[in-house]
A and B are shown apart, each in its own frame.
Chain A
Amino acid sequence: MSDYVELSNLTKGFPGSTGPVIIVRDFNLHIQRGEFVTLIGHSGCGKSTVLSMLAGLCPVTSGAIVLAGRELTGPGPDRGVVFQSPSLLPWLTAFKNVMLGVDQVFFTAPRSERARIAEYYLSVVGLADAMHKRPSELSQGMRQRVGIARAFALSPKMLLLDEPFGMLDSLTRFELQQVLVNLWSRNAVTALMVTHDVDEALFLSDRIVMMTNGPEAGVGDILDVTFSRPRERRAVIEHSDYQRLRDHLIDFLETRAHLRPNQTPAPHRPPPSAPASRPVNRPVVRPREPLTADVLAVTPG
């Protein structure tokens, strides 16, 4: 299978007070069709910047993005975006929020067909009974479900998710991760997701891309995650490789994230203090939470 998405030497600079500040430099990543890739790294390293360049919401300083053989030049509904805040339009019902995009993408289809698409995705994310409510009547978790349905309903070439579960409590987060896994197993869209959460990354991804700290952040390391699909949380966590992969990620974030990609750690380094002293919230390495059957069940949150 050939590369479906290619990010080549992607670089982004913002004008700063003392000349341009390069946030991301020479970010290279190839993603296969149908692959789920997660981007993990310290806060402020530029994960969202990479994602918004892919979404076309933020112009590229240099480098190129190719999706399905075509260079991207701007935003478009061929990429479904799930934002950190659900960013639903508050004056539209959940259904109409989804329809806004469906109408745009499937404008040749008859209205009944378009409504069927929106209804289908809303029911798959568990909102069959709440699809005619406005966002203000929905819980945070339900709103994010709508956001996910909205992105999938576009039948996009690629999904872009920027910490889609970052604002949710951990129970709701588990539920929605499962929703995402279920949706994705029906319809393996190429996906790039940003997360702070090591366990989330392991549960969802085929590959995890670890970003070095900014400025001039790039790809530090890549981890293959080969748990069989469809995935089930308990099976993943109990897998014999799980702890090893998790340790690898944590080791990168704690000791190697501040190094440029071509550097290698010195043999006898003092304990890493640089990342810990940064005034940023660090990736969540939560102790494993005890799992119960109802946590795993998918119910509207």
Chain B
Amino acid sequence: MKKSLQDIFFPFVGLALVLAFWQLIAGRSLERVRADGTSEEIRAGWIKDLPTPIDTWVKTRKYVLEPFAKREELDQGILRFTWYSLVIVGKGYFIALLIGTPLGFLLGLSKTFARMFDPLIQVLRPVSPLAWMPLGVVLFTGAGKAANDLGALFTIAICSMWPTVLNTAVGVRAVPQDYLNVAKVLKLSRTQTLFRILVPATLPYMFTGYRLSLGIAWLVIVAVEMLTGRVGIGNFLWNEYNNGLYTSIILCIITIGLVGFLLDRGMSLLERRIQGAR
């Protein structure tokens, strides 16, 4: 009981400290009266253009208090923007799992396949989404208007696929020989061995990969939307920056962080359920 109280209390202390520091370094608006009697607004403080926490709340609360509103194309509630982003992330992520899981199994099962493609994977893995995105659009120029969307899906899928591929491969290689001996003694067919032994035995590793992949897919979305101009939270962030509305940037960052955190939590719950089953 005492422990759980502390678990709630200390994060708030941390949050308060960060907010205080933010307030300290943020800039303030001051009114200066010119010699001719007119006044002008100037910014003062350590980081002049950084809005204060309170400023941020006041200026962005319309996005938060009406999270699903749609006033204009570029003026929508924060969760509505988030939803657009989540939909495209979900699609790209689904593709990543669909390709990444079998790829991981091939890598784990076949030494030849691993020798052929492992170096390639190690080279492609660190490439940034910003680098993939233009290639994605180029690849799908044939699709006309859909090129941007397909390019976005391509980028999300190819960036987020690798943890799934690598974790699945590690999991397949780690299947205990005992289990494989059971399969051999019972003369299970290849398909039976795959679906009745290898897949269930690899499941915990696969889910670790899935969780990490989802994190990356969400990380990539902002970059993708900035480049393609698809409507979504990343695109909103970029537009507001271009319009000089810095408070919205902060709101977007907080939202992206919270959503990423919730996604990760959800996946680790699933992961633990799977691992608890053994």
B278, A136: Cβ atoms under 8 Å?
yes
A56 to B176, CA, bound (A): 18
B182, A89: Cβ atoms under 8 Å?
yes
B179, A87: Cβ atoms under 8 Å?
yes
A81 interface contact, C-beta 8 A = yes
Nearest opposing residue in chain B for A91, CB measure: B200
A83, B186: Cβ atoms under 8 Å?
no
Nearest opposing residue in chain B for A79, CB measure: B185
A87, B178: Cβ atoms under 8 Å?
yes
A104, B188: Cβ atoms under 8 Å?
yes
B200, A57: Cβ atoms under 8 Å?
no
Residue of A55, A89, A136 touching B185 (CB-CB under 8 A): A55
Supplied contacts A81-B185, A91-B277, A100-B182, 6 more A-B pairs, CB within 8 Å:
A55-B185, A75-B184, A87-B179, A87-B182, A100-B196, A136-B278
Residues of B within 8 A of A283 (CB): none
A63 interface contact, C-beta 8 A = no
How many residues of A sit at the interface, in one of the four size bands?
20 to 34
Nearest opposing residue in chain A for B203, CB measure: A91
A100 to B189, CA, bound (A): 12
B197 interface contact, C-beta 8 A = yes
B residues contacting A by CB (< 8 A) are 176, 178-179, 181-182, 184-188, 196-197, 200-201, 203, 277-278
**Closest CB of chain A to B192's CB: distance in Å?**
8
A76, B187: Cβ atoms under 8 Å?
yes
Residues of A within 8 A of B201 (CB): 89, 91
* Contact sample, A vs B, 10 pairs, CB 8 Å cutoff: A75-B185, A75-B187, A81-B185, A87-B176, A87-B181, A100-B182, A104-B186, A104-B187, A105-B186, A154-B186
A101 interface contact, C-beta 8 A = yes
A155 to B203, CA, bound (A): 32
Residues of A within 8 A of B176 (CB): 87
Residues of A within 8 A of B187 (CB): 75-77, 104
Residues of B within 8 A of A136 (CB): 278
Residues of B within 8 A of A57 (CB): 181, 184-185
Residues of A within 8 A of B278 (CB): 90-91, 134, 136
A43 interface contact, C-beta 8 A = no
A57 to B182, CA, bound (A): 10
A85 interface contact, C-beta 8 A = yes
Interface positions, chain A 71-87, Cβ under 8 Å from B, are 75-77, 79-81, 83, 85, 87
**Closest CB of chain B to A137's CB: distance in Å?**
11
Report which residue of A57, A81, A87 has the largest number of chain B beta carbons within 10 angstroms of its beta carbon. Answer: A87
B184, A56: Cβ atoms under 8 Å?
yes
A100, B186: Cβ atoms under 8 Å?
yes
Residues A85 and B185 in contact in the complex (CB < 8 Å), given A91-B278, A136-B278? no
Nearest opposing residue in chain B for A150, CB measure: B182
Residues of B within 8 A of A134 (CB): 277-278
Q: Mark A154-171, 1 if CB is under 8 A from B, else 0.
A: 100000000000000000
**Closest CB of chain A to B171's CB: distance in Å?**
13
Q: Mark A262-284, 1 if CB is under 8 A from B, else 0.
A: 00000000000000000000000
A37 to B140, CA, bound (A): 69
Residues of B within 8 A of A90 (CB): 278
Residues A89 and B181 in contact in the complex (CB < 8 Å), given A75-B187, A76-B187, A101-B186? no
Residues of B within 8 A of A56 (CB): 184-185
**Closest CB of chain B to A160's CB: distance in Å?**
9
Residues of A within 8 A of B184 (CB): 56-57, 75
Residues of B within 8 A of A55 (CB): 185
Residues of A within 8 A of B196 (CB): 100
A136 to B188, CA, bound (A): 24
Residue of B178, B182, B185, B197 touching A76 (CB-CB under 8 A): B185
Closest 5 CB pairs between A and B? Answer: A87-B178, A90-B278, A75-B184, A91-B200, A104-B186
**Closest CB of chain B to A106's CB: distance in Å?**
12
